[in-house]
Chain A
């Protein structure tokens, strides 16, 4: 990853200086990463694509202001997260109706088929999670950012990040069918 970051830094510096080819390479390299963040935060696939597009545009337009003090991926994740949250705010109603409560998998489902179905229905589980928990878990477990990086991206203290990740994991595990971790998604710090 260090090598990739070095390459990212080089490309980012060139792109920042106006090298459109470097910018194109940078965007192409990280489009899937940006999309994954948006997909898991926004949940709705179409909205996630819109958020991905907005994030890439924001990167392209803001690359000249990227000063390299933070890792490029940290900066990128911040942009992707903000784009996803903006998309959520624009289309909150649609996101909330993506997974109606009656369709959610039952954490206490007993059959193997039900548990498999519950694990596959990640979208429904994520849709039920509070937004801040979802963001924290996505950035930690999907994007593999460490706590300080997540704190920088989200703009909250590291302690808050830890709390959100812990509680988000519990909720997600419960929603995905882990009966050892009862869901408490309604509780917020």
Chain B
């Protein structure tokens, strides 16, 4: 016999009967189960503990983001909040100015932050003209007109009571003719010792100053 050839006699003696199907399938299934599937590998890459560890990190990141946003909002409270309030008051002023005098909208004074905000927003878009003094004579009224024209924003001292002045204008029974225009400025004054309010109305491109004497109630051009 060629020694390099297979020994058929030994081969026959060594032959092993095939496994039964159940055993073979069990072996194959066990081998397959020992190999991680793609989803298992994904789980291994991010095991449950590791996934859970991201939860507090994400939560912390969200909290940090909210804190940062809050700090930015608070620190930017000056100009941003002023602008925001101005916009709010602008909307309110539009409503107030656009409404007829004597209506609830026009009369209702601003409260809270709106009432105590900066010089141009205290009157909800209405310019505070300040205290214009005694306007009993024509010279004083001329000076007042000049001041109004040259200083449309008025002074800060007069702004604080813009809402009050607007309320008094709205309550004045003789202020009916002011309802044809929008009030864009108010200031306090006196006429012959009587309290008065300088009211600037706007109609289109023109502004008209008025002098509203409260007691007795009378309305005059400034």
**Residues of A in contact with B (beta carbons under 8 Å apart):** 18, 20, 23-24, 27-28, 31-32, 35-36, 39-40, 49, 52-53, 56-57, 59-61, 119, 122, 126, 137-138, 140-142, 144, 147, 162, 165-166, 169, 172-173, 176
Contact = CB atoms under 8 A, between A and B. Distances in A.
Contacts of A165: 3
A56 B30 contact: yes
A52 B26 CA distance: 11
B5 to A, nearest CB: 9
Given A24-B32, A162-B3, A53 B27 contact: yes
B35 interface: yes
Contact of B10 (A28, A60, A141, A147): A141
B13 interface: yes
Given A39-B16, A56-B30, A60-B35, A28 B11 contact: no
B27 A147 contact: no
Interface in B23-48: 23-25, 27-28, 30-32, 34-35, 37-38
Interface string B1-22: 0011011111101111011000
For chain B, the bracket of interface size reads 20 to 34
Contacts of A144: 6, 11
10 contacts: A24-B28, A31-B24, A39-B16, A49-B27, A56-B31, A57-B31, A126-B14, A141-B7, A162-B3, A162-B4
Contacts of B34: 57, 60-61
Nearest to A178: B9
Contacts of B8: 141
Contacts of A166: 3
A29 to B, nearest CB: 10
A52 B28 CA distance: 10
Nearest to A27: B28
A35 B32 contact: no
A31 B10 contact: no
Given A36-B16, A176-B13, A27 B32 contact: yes
A28 B28 contact: yes
Given A60-B32, A60-B35, A31 B14 contact: no
Query: Could you say which of B15, B18, B24, B28 has the most chain A C-beta atoms within 10 Å of its C-beta?
Result: B28
Contact of A23 (B18, B24, B32, B38): B32
**Which 10 A-B residue pairs are closest in the complex by CB-CB distance?**
A56-B31, A36-B16, A142-B14, A141-B10, A60-B31, A57-B34, A141-B11, A32-B18, A60-B35, A27-B28
A182 to B, nearest CB: 16
Nearest to A32: B18
Contact of A31 (B6, B19, B35): B19
B23 to A, nearest CB: 7
Contacts of A40: 14, 16
A123 B18 CA distance: 16
Nearest to A56: B31
Contacts of A138: 14
A31 B27 contact: yes
B15 to A, nearest CB: 7
B6 A140 contact: yes
Contact of B19 (A32, A147, A162): A32
Contacts of A169: 7, 10
A1 B158 CA distance: 108
A57 B30 contact: yes
Given A56-B28, A141-B14, A35 B19 contact: yes
Nearest to B21: A28
B13 A20 contact: no
A20 B28 contact: no
Given A18-B38, A20-B37, A142-B16, 6 more contacts: A24-B32, A27-B28, A36-B16, A40-B16, A162-B4, A176-B13
